[in-house]
Structure 1
């Protein structure tokens, strides 16, 4: 399966020659979806870890698919939610020593609920996590994959939460957001 996805390139570092191997993988899209009750996450089994983990809705882009369209598709397939406006939060390489694929991270607020359309290999539980619980997910390692962890950190920072002395703390901005309970990640 991976045989055709492994690339070998010659590299020279300070006079030492070697062959570096990396995986050729498709780009990925992920979505921070905020609803009035909190953040939409999915829980699914990951064979490489041997356990279920919480993640942002995400998936591989199809050949020729625009990242924003892939993000809409994955959100709908995995959670049933249909996104309105989608805002690009970031693009990043999750593991440059292993692969050169990118994650395209988007944000949407108040998506409309609908029907899921899981792949035959997916068994997903959709969970809504209150914003006040998101820091615990990060600290306890319950949202530990790179795209989810980084996406939730972006979300908390935009909502006014800061990491201080090893703990996530809401600033006055975060307290104001919580009072208004509006979705306005910027």
Structure 2
């Protein structure tokens, strides 16, 4: 019986995954060349017709590969991946290197990257600054707090439901220990 080594298989899969990323980069490079030289016009009206008629990926995906190829090196594409790099292109250049480092160091996943992109999207090249107007700044902080409170309403409701359920259960029993626990819990709540 042949013993299968998980580490060996994992290494093979990682190698193949890296080659997929490089293939995407190479495809983008080749498509850029075809577009630049207008070679697609030999048999097709447009680059879109050429891509949709010959490949299983969409024109939009092809555009992403082409765009990333024009902005990042093959080494960066291998490390990070086409999808994440395309997301990074939406971040202003001032912040891009900072976010790339987070992605390279695996400190951020795709969802975290989307949040970072959303955070930086639309900002100019300078770091965000606080308003010099105190009232405006306080108003902004109040709105942020209000938004946070709205987001946590469900958590508070769940906590209230759990609390009420626990209280009703302890009231059903006349056990002195439960009564003492309920009184201590009420005291703690008053402190909060």
TM-score (normalizing by structure 1): 0.21
Pick the structure with more helix per residue.
Answer: 2
More strand by share: 1
Bigger Rg, structure 1 or 2: 2
